[in-house]
């Protein structure tokens, strides 16, 4: 039976400042992510879930078993989210990825604007994404815990727009958080790696 575990952050909690504070990461990683893991493991046991991977659990529980889906999907969303961030104000995008962004999404500036708009446009809680859909890059958004894999999309870059991800640092200013994220907090090497592995 799958046992969800909290991964260490791949950086120190104060290393994303000033764009994301240590206080936010402490709450978000140590408390919020941990709660999804605790509840996810409980529901996996209670429901005798026997899939071999976290991704399979998410796909098979989608629209069928909400407690399992919500917690396991949020777990994989957050594992992804920690990995795609770094303190990267130069924001240099590896050239192969940049060419693909230019050809599939118009330009880097257009991609960034569409990503921000997707995050602003997600009513309530959820995520905005750069995904690969049938070999093509797309910007999407999902509600609540939904991971793009339930739509057959491969997530390359996801941003958490639940209030717990930005309220400490940005209060209600979700657009400012999204702009800081896409301009200064993306580990584009990791996004390129996600594309290569897709
Ligand atoms: Mn979160």
Ligand 1 mean position, distance from CA 72 (Å): 13
Q: How far is CA 176 from the centre of its chain?
A: 17
Taking ligand 1, which is a single-atom ion, which protein residues have CB atoms under 5 Å away?
A: 160, 162
How far apart are alpha carbons 63 and 53 in whole angstroms?
A: 18
Task: Name residue 133's beta-bridge partners.
Answer: 136
Ligand 1 mean position, distance from CA 103 (Å): 31
Return per-residue pLDDT of the chain as tens, 198 residues.
999 999 999 999 999 999 999 999 999 999 999 999 999 999 999 999 999 999 999 999 999 999 999 999 999 999 999 999 999 999 899 999 999 999 999 999 999 999 999 999 999 999 999 999 999 999 999 999 999 999 999 999 999 999 999 999 999 999 999 999 999 999 999 999 999 999
Model pTM score: 0.98
Cα-Cα-Cα-Cα dihedral of 159, 85, 67, 46, to 10°?
A: 170
Ligand 1 mean position, distance from CA 99 (Å): 31
Residue ranges and CATH numbers for the domains of the chain are 22-83 (1.10.287.990), 95-197 (3.55.40.20)
């Amino acid at each position: 039976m799958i046992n969800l575990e909290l991964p260490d952050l791949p950086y120190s909690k104060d290393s994303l400042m000033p764009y994301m504070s240590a206080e936010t990461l402490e709450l978000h990683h140590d408390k919020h992510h941990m709660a999804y893991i605790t509840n996810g493991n409980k529901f996996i046991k209670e429901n005798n879930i026997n899939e071999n991977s976290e991704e399979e659990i998410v796909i098979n529980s989608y629209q069928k078993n909400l407690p399992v889906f919500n917690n396991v999907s949020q777990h994989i969303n957050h594992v992804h989210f920690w990995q795609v961030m770094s303190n990267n104000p130069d924001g240099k995008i590896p050239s192969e990825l940049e060419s693909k962004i230019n050809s599939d999404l118009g330009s880097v500036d257009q991609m960034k604007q569409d990503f921000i708009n997707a995050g602003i446009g997600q009513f309530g809680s959820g995520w905005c994404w750069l995904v690969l859909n049938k070999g093509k890059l797309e910007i999407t958004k999902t509600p609540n815990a939904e991971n793009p894999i339930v739509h057959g999309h491969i997530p390359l870059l996801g941003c958490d727009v639940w209030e717990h991800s930005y309220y400490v640092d940005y209060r209600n200013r979700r657009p400012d958080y999204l702009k800081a994220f896409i301009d200064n907090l993306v580990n584009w090497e990791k996004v390129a790696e996600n594309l290569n592995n897709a």
